[in-house]
Amino acid sequence: MRLYPLCLPLLLTGCFGSDSEPITPPPRVPADLLQPCVGYIGPRPKTEGQLSDAMVAEARGRSCANGKLQTISEILNHISPNKD
């Protein structure tokens, strides 16, 4: 019974060819990076003040989203570097 854990990896490696790629688990991305960023969600602005508030809210939402995309990109590049 104790030889079974030792023999199993040897049997599994026999199933792969010499040119097969190793299977890697997907990278771990924190859950907060997968949450959507809120931009402007109000009614259509009618005054300059409302337009200014909408533009600021939209800029903050885009900045949040771009920051999350950059962080996810760094995680993915750290896990699997480019094969150029």
Q: Decide if 8 is inside a domain.
A: no
When pLDDT is cut at 50, 70 and 90, the band that residue 81 belongs to is low
Alpha helices in the chain (DSSP H): 4-13, 48-79
Between 27 and 37, the higher pLDDT residue: 37
Place of tokens 């599994």: 12
Q: Decide if 54 is inside a domain.
A: yes
Q: What's the pTM? A: 0.61
Q: Can you give the pLDDT at residue 36?
A: 93
- For 60-75, what is each residue's pLDDT tens digit? 999 999 999 999 999 8
The domain containing residue 53 runs over which residues?
Answer: 28-84
Q: Is the Cα dihedral 34, 39, 42, 43 positive or negative?
A: negative
Q: Decide if 18 is inside a domain.
A: no
Between 68 and 78, the higher pLDDT residue: 68
Q: Can you give the pLDDT at residue 37?
A: 93
Q: Decide if 40 is inside a domain.
A: yes
